[in-house]
Chain A
Amino acid sequence: MSGFDLTEKGKVPATALLNCAHCNNTVRLVTHAQAVNVGCLHCDSLLARQGNRWSRVKDQKSQVRVPTIPLGTKSLFKEIRYAVTGFIVYQETTAPYQWREYVLFSPIHGYAFLSEYDGHWTYFRFVADISLTRNNTHSLTYQEKDYKLFHKYSSQVVYAAGEFPWRLLDNRSHYTEFVAPPYMLTLEKSQDEICWMQGEYVTPEEIQEAFGVAEYMPERIGVGAAEPFATAFSYKKVMAAGGAAVGVLFLLQILFLIFIRPQVLTDQSFSVPIAPEQYGEVTLTALPGPTFTLSSLTGSSNLELELYAPVDDEWFELGVTLINIKTNKAYDFEVGTEYYSGYEGGEYWTEGSQKNSVTLSAMQDGEYTLIVQPYRGALSKVDQFRLWVRRDVPLWSNLWILLLFIAAAPAVQWFRNQSFEKSRWMNSNYSPYDS
Chain B
Amino acid sequence: MKKLSIYKVFIAYLVLVLSYFVYVNATGTRILGDDKEEFDPNEGRTGTSSGYRGSRYYHK
Judge: A and B partners, yes or no. Answer: yes
Interface residues of A (CB under 8 A from B): 230-233, 237-238, 241-242, 245, 248-249, 252-253, 256, 260, 281, 296-303, 313, 315, 317, 319, 322, 327-334, 336, 338, 340, 358-363, 373, 375, 377, 391-392, 395, 397-399, 401-402, 405-406, 409
> Which chain B residue lies CB-closest to A358?
B35
Cα distance, A396 to B11, chains bound together (Å): 24
Q: Contact check, B22 vs A252: say whether CB atoms are below 8 A apart.
A: yes
Cα–Cα distance between A237 and B40 once the two chains are bound (Å):
50
Cβ-defined contact, B17 with A402, below 8 A:
yes
Provide the bound-state CA to CA distance between A245 and B12, in Å.
11
Given A260-B25, A315-B56, A402-B20, 10 further pairs, Cβ under 8 A: A252-B18, A299-B27, A300-B27, A302-B28, A302-B29, A362-B29, A395-B30, A397-B31, A397-B32, A402-B18
Q: In the bound complex, do residue B28 and residue A333 qualify as a contact, i.e. CB atoms below 8 Å apart?
A: no
Closest to A406 in B: B17
CB-CB under 8 A from A399, the residues of chain B are 21
Q: With A248-B18, A302-B28, A333-B35 as given contacts, are A328 and B41 in contact (CB-CB < 8 Å)?
A: yes
Residue of A328, A359, A392 near B34 (CB, 8 A) is: A359
- Could you tell me if B17 and A334 are in contact, using CB atoms closer than 8 angstroms? no
Whether the pair B14, A242 counts as a contact (CB closer than 8 A) is yes
Within the complex, the shortest CB–CB distance from B52 to chain A, in Å, comes to 3
Q: Which residues of B contact A363 (CB under 8 A)?
A: 28
Chain B residues, CB < 8 A from A313: 60
Interfacial residues of chain B within 1-60, with CB under 8 A of chain A in the complex: 3-4, 6-7, 10-11, 13-14, 17-18, 20-22, 24-41, 51-53, 55-60
Smallest CB-CB separation from B51: which chain A residue? A332
Closest B residue to A323 using CB positions: B39
Minimal Cβ-Cβ distance residue in B for A401: B31
In the assembled complex, how far is the CB of residue A279 from the closest CB belonging to chain B, in whole angstroms?
14
Q: Are B30 and A397 in contact (CB under 8 A)?
A: yes
B14, B17, B28: which contacts A362 (Cβ < 8 A)?
B28
* A-chain residues with CB within 8 Å of residue B3 when the two chains form the complex: 230-233
Q: How far is the CA of A298 from the CA of B26 in the complex (A)?
A: 7
* Residue of B31, B33, B40 with highest tally of chain A CB at under 10 A: B31
Kindly provide the distance from the CB of A195 to the nearest chain B CB, expressed in whole angstroms: 34
Smallest CB-CB A-B distances: 10 pairs: A232-B3, A319-B52, A315-B57, A302-B28, A301-B28, A361-B30, A330-B39, A362-B29, A245-B14, A331-B36
Which residues of the other chain, A, contact B38 by a CB distance below 8 angstroms?
329-331
* Distance between Cα atoms of A391 and B40 in the complex (Å): 22
Give the CA-CA distance A315 to B18 in the complex, in Å: 41
Q: Is the CB of A334 within 8 A of B33?
A: no
| Bound CA–CA A191/B54 (angstroms) | 90
CA distance A406 to B13 in the complex (A): 9
Q: Check A332 against B36 for contact (C-beta < 8 Å).
A: yes
Supposing A252-B18, A409-B13 touch, asked if A338 and B59 sit within 8 A by C-beta, the answer is yes
Chain A nearest Cβ from B26, distance in angstroms: 5
Residues on B with C-beta less than 8 A from A395 are: 24-25, 28-31
By a CB distance below 8 angstroms, the chain B residues around A297 are 26
> Inside 8 A of A241's CB, which chain B residues have their CB?
7, 10-11, 14
Distance in Å: Cβ of A215 to nearest Cβ of chain B: 25
Bound Cα distance from A151 to B46, whole angstroms: 68
Most-contacted residue by chain A among B11, B41, B52, B60 (CB, 10 A): B52
B32, A333: Cβ atoms under 8 Å?
Answer: no
On whether the beta carbons of B27 and A298 are closer than 8 Å, the reply is yes
Decide: A375 and B21 in contact? CB cutoff 8 A: no
> Mind listing 22 A-B residue pairs with CB under 8 Å?
A232-B3, A242-B14, A248-B18, A252-B21, A260-B25, A301-B28, A329-B38, A331-B39, A338-B59, A358-B36, A359-B34, A360-B36, A361-B29, A362-B29, A375-B56, A395-B30, A399-B21, A402-B18, A402-B20, A402-B21, A405-B17, A409-B13
Name the A residues within 8 Å of B21 (CB-CB): 249, 252, 398-399, 402
The residue on A at minimum CB distance from B29 is A362
Q: Give A278 Cβ to nearest chain B Cβ, in Å.
A: 15
In the complex, residue of chain A having the shortest beta-carbon distance to the beta carbon of B21: A402
Contacts of A237 in B (CB 8 A): 7
> Residue of A at shortest CB range from B40?
A329
Question: Residues of B contacting A330 with CB < 8 Å?
Answer: 38-41
